Amino acid sequence: MSEGTPPSLPEGVERREIGGRERLATRGEPVYGEPTDGPWRAWDPSRSKLGAMLELGMDTGLEGDETVLYLGAASGTTVSHVADFSGPTYAVEFAPRPTRDLLEAAASRPRLFPLLKDARKPETYAHVVESDVDVVVQDVATRGQADVATRNRQFLAEDGRLLLAVKARSEDVTADPDAVFDRVREELEESYEVLEVRRLDAYHVDHLGVVARPRVV
């Protein structure tokens, strides 16, 4: 990729005109009332941190067909898009109510595997999730977001990627977001090499997108 050229989208993600404007889109059954065009469903970056990272041109390293561990799947808004273009996608969600919606999203997606588990306790799903996954996507609104990423590093292949959305207010609602981001990044760098960071405020206020890879121990 030449300098100044935006990173390519993963195979299975396209920019298509839906509802009168160009949008990111994947092929699959709609999940959250998103606009569609035939088999294509719009991927709303204002409802998806990963969608925002792609929309803003971050180099996620996603190519399509990767094995994915998704932490903080909620009701399936983003992870359903991920499962539309990826390989096996393990979706971890702690709360029972959104997990019921996640199960509905998975009904038409044979590669999407919902897990009612706590992302802070990876030992509870280590027997299910295969080792050497290609990508960990993390969108967990909790204190200790770097710690969650560190605990789940065990699942990543050596050349895998962590795609992390840091929510400043979940770490410390009273602190300056930049200070929070600096602290989370410092903690994260004990286990990961940070490749790219970008504020996601255009779509998600006080959020930071992070692309990282595991440090070789």
166 in a known ligand binding site:
no
89 in a known ligand binding site:
no
Residue 41 structure tokens:
């469903």
140 in a known ligand binding site:
yes
User: Where in 64-143 does DSSP place strands (E)?
Assistant: 68-71, 89-93, 112-116, 133-138
**CB neighbour list of residue 74: distance below 8 Å, 6 or more residues apart:** 93, 95, 98, 102, 139
139 in a known ligand binding site:
yes
93 in a known ligand binding site:
yes
Residue 166 structure tokens:
């840091």
Q: How far is Cα 161 from Cα 60, in angstroms, rounded to an integer?
A: 8
Q: How far is Cα 54 from Cα 73, in angstroms, rounded to an integer?
A: 18
Q: How far is Cα 29 from Cα 44, in angstroms, rounded to an integer?
A: 15
- What are the phi and psi torsion angles at 211 (to 5°)? -115, 130
**CB neighbour list of residue 121: distance below 8 Å, 6 or more residues apart:** 151
65 in a known ligand binding site:
no
119 in a known ligand binding site:
yes
142 in a known ligand binding site:
yes
Residues of the binding site: 77-78, 93-94, 118-119, 139-142
Residues of the binding site for S-adenosyl-L-methionine: 77-78, 93-94, 118-119, 139-142
